[in-house]
Every structure is written in C-alpha cells, then in structure tokens.
Amino acid sequence: MRTQTKELQTGLTPANALQILKDGNQRFINNLKANRNLLQQVNETAEGQYPFAVILSCIDSRTSAELIFDQGLGDIFSVRIAGNFVNEDILEPVSLGDS
C-alpha cells in the first residue's frame, strides 16, 4: 500500500475516498488487512500529511478509524470525542483536516 501523497490526495473524488473506506472496512471485516511498512510510512509522512478523509469517531479505545477502515499513517484525519455531539471545538479540527 502506498502512503498518501499530495498528488494522490488531490486526484481523489469524494466517491473515490468513500470507496477506499468501504474497501478497507471490508478487509477489516474479513480480517484481511493490507500489508504496510509502518516505519516507511513514518518516514514518508515526516514532512507532512495528506489525509484523504476526515473521520469523526468515538474516543473509545476499541474504535480506531485506521483499523476499522484498514488505512495507514497519514491516510485519515481522525477526530475523536467522548459523547455523540459536534460543536465548534470539534468543527475546527475537522475543517483543518480537509484543507
């Protein structure tokens, strides 16, 4: 799996991004995670991150968006909060994730 780059991010449509998440979730459900070199991803994202999706999820430690959608480092801008509400404190980091 390739690390998300600015070029890859720019070329994605919302439909493509949603399909990537659906495909990743299907891999998760089937326990067929993608093969990733995490050390390589750490090095490739050291200068910047180019997530293709912003995911708002529960802060519960059992619900990691990266695992549930089988994505690597820098692929998802993850915003986590306790409770089921969205306010200005949450919307600000979400808006930063899509810029």
Separation between Cα atoms, residue 67 and residue 48, nearest integer Å: 21
pLDDT of residue 17: 93
Lowest mean pLDDT, pick from 4-13, 39-48, 65-74: 4-13
Residue 3 pLDDT > 70: no
pLDDT of residue 97: 55
For domain 6-97, the CATH class is alpha beta
Domain residue ranges in the chain: 6-97
Q: How confident is the model at residue 40 (pLDDT cuts 50, 70, 90)?
A: confident
Q: 52-90, pLDDT tens digit by residue?
A: 999 988 888 888 999 999 998 888 988 888 876 787 877
> Would you give the distance in Å from CA 69 to the centre of its chain?
8
Taking CA atoms, 39 is separated from 34, 45, 83, 97, in Å, by 15, 10, 33, 23
